[in-house]
Chains A and B, each alone.
Chain A
Amino acid sequence: EPEVTQTPSHQVTQMGQEVILRCVPISNHLYFYWYRQILGQKVEFLVSFYNNEISEKSEIFDDQFSVERPDGSNFTLKIRSTKLEDSAMYFCASRGTFSSYNEQFFGPGTRLTVL
């Protein structure tokens, strides 16, 4: 069964460093998302991406964040200068076709620890 994959599973970085989190969505999907979950808190929407541009972003997704689809398979989230409060689990998700009924499928997540 096709699935969303994410690398790395765990990333440790120093405050102020740049990190790139990588995702490979399900191959025929067209809509891509990033969410985050701070330990003990709700899963929060960050950004959605379609047709090589951002279609929606939350207030969390400030200028420190950027997303990119550098090739036909990868979808990345970059945090330019990490802060302690960026420590969280980051989930990538994808959805297929133009049908609005299609569900979002989530990857296993990348745990980001900022020291």
Chain B
Amino acid sequence: KQEVTQIPAALSVPEGENLVLNCSFTDSAIYNLQWFRQDPGKGLTSLLLIQSSQREQTSGRLNASLDKSSGRSTLYIAASQPGDSATYLCAVRPAAGGGADGLTFGKGTHLIIQP
């Protein structure tokens, strides 16, 4: 059974710093990996999707990498801003066919950017 772990569980840094959030998964047979942002009491906003054949994806100040064989992904946030404060979730989609594409989520990293 796939397990997704995110470290650290919480992180507080001053504005302007670059930071890295970590995600690991136990079963490397994945189709893709998605990073989401969740604001308190709100839904999930998709940030980046990395296909299993890719090594990284970039969107603005965000860069996500994937090392499928070692079961790890990182989300790099450059020049952090107070508006980046949120919980960041990592989720993997299994490689199995037959319509099995439910995502397995980590518990998230709660990020606070201090002004």
Nearest-CB residue, chain B, relative to A107: B43
> Would you call A43 and B32 a contact (CB within 8 A)?
no
Give 1 or 0 for each of B76-115: 1 = CB within 8 Å of chain A CB.
Answer: 0000000000000101000000111111111110000000
Closest partner residue, chain A, to B43 (CB atom): A108
CB distance from A89 to the nearest CB of B (A): 8
Nearest CB in chain A to that of B54: its residue = A101
A56 and B102 within 8 A (CB): yes
Interface centre among B36, B99, B107 (most CB of A within 10 A): B99
Q: 0/1 per residue, A50-70, Cβ < 8 Å to B?
A: 100001101000000000000
0/1 string, B52-74, CB within 8 A of A gives 1: 00000000000000000000000
Q: Confirm or deny: B44 has a beta carbon within 8 angstroms of a beta carbon on chain A.
A: yes
Q: Which residues of the partner chain A approach B34 to less than 8 Å between Cβ atoms?
A: 103-104
A109 with B101, Cβ < 8 A, contacts A100-B31, A101-B32, A101-B51 known: no
Nearest A residue (CB) for B107: A42
Q: B49 on the interface (CB 8 Å rule)? A: yes
- A33 CB–B CB distance under 8 Å: yes
Supply 9 A–B pairs (Cβ within 8 Å), ascending by A. A42-B107, A43-B105, A45-B104, A56-B98, A56-B100, A95-B101, A104-B34, A106-B45, A107-B43
Point out residues on A near B: beta carbons under 8 Å: 31, 33, 35, 41-48, 50, 55-56, 58, 91, 95, 100-101, 103-109, 111
Which 10 residue pairs across A and B have the least CB separation, nearest first? Answer: A55-B99, A45-B102, A108-B43, A106-B44, A43-B105, A103-B49, A56-B100, A109-B43, A42-B107, A42-B105
